Amino acid sequence: MQTIRHLLCPVDLSEPAGQSLRYASALSSLLGSDLTILYVRSHQADTKKSSCTSLEAFARGIVGVDSSIRRLERQGEAVTEILNTSSAVAADLIVMGTHGRTGLQRLLLGSVSERVIRRSQAPVLVVPFGIKATEDSLRLATVACALDFSEPSRRAVDYAASIAASAGARLLLIHALEWSEETDTWPNAGKASLPSSEDDALARMNELLTEDMRVRCNPELVVGYGRAADELQRVVHERPVDLVVLGVRRRTLIDRVVFGSTTQRLIRHGACTVLTVNTLESAQRR
């Protein structure tokens, strides 16, 4: 299982960022991980915000005076500075928040979080607006991991199992089989990369579970029927799922559609936090 030693939490000194920082602080305590808070100042932000607030005051109001929590300020383009800092501090996980329930509930700093998710070598955990946590109240009972048996989803299992084991949570592995009414067959039939039946899917999910995962995570395997995004959202709403872990494939039009229909829908509905794991091998992997 993947060891998560260091969390990075970018903030913009807003209320939603404060909420994500509370979650990051509680999660770092739960995982026994270090935490670094990052504030990226743009040239405009310098003139507008420097006179009325500071990272130190913002952090103190959220997490108190804790010398073990590192605070960093950078100036420049947000995505670039977040990614550079993530690499510099060897972050295993980036925690970011969302804005309030207006419009399409864009991610923190608009398109910044989406670009961070797509380009980051470290997985990115998004805290929807309205998810509240303190060190005493963060309880992860169920960690769900959606599988399409691609490389990113296989990597996602490692992260999901690591968090579930640390939190004493149940690990829920989910795969959706899509039926084609036009051909009266499973669309994946004949494709060795994807299961063609429920038994096949269950067997492949079992193969991904190590003995350590079986002992520490009390895993449950679920095979649904229908569009992957719909099935995942159904499971999240029917069960008390606290965190969903997803592998994110990149660069193709299909990947952008899947990202939009699955990750964005879960985040916009705000039912739980969402952790995305991309295809890149992390430079910080140890």
Domains of the chain (ranges; CATH) run 6-127 (3.40.50.620), 142-278 (3.40.50.620)
Q: At residue 244, does pLDDT exceed 50?
A: yes
- Identify which of 99, 121, 129 has the alpha carbon closest to the alpha carbon of residue 112: 99
Q: How confident is the model at residue 194 (pLDDT cuts 50, 70, 90)?
A: confident
Residues contacting residue 91 through CB under 8 Å, at least 6 positions apart: 6, 7, 8, 36, 85, 122, 284
Q: What is the 8-class DSSP label of residue 264?
A: I
pLDDT at 250: 56
pTM for the full predicted model: 0.82
pLDDT at 209 exceeding the cut of 90: yes
Rounded to whole angstroms, the Cα distance separating 272 from 200 reads: 29
22-26, 30-34, 109-113, 237-241: segment of lowest average pLDDT: 109-113
The dihedral over CA atoms of 114, 279, 178, 241, expressed in degrees to the nearest 10, equals -60
Q: What is the pLDDT of residue 157?
A: 94
**Confidence category of residue 257, pLDDT binned at 50, 70, 90:** very low
What pLDDT shows up at residue 91?
A: 95
Q: Which carries the bigger pLDDT value, residue 79 or residue 150?
A: 79
- Which of 27-41, 64-78, 223-237, 261-275 shows the lowest mean pLDDT across its residues? 261-275
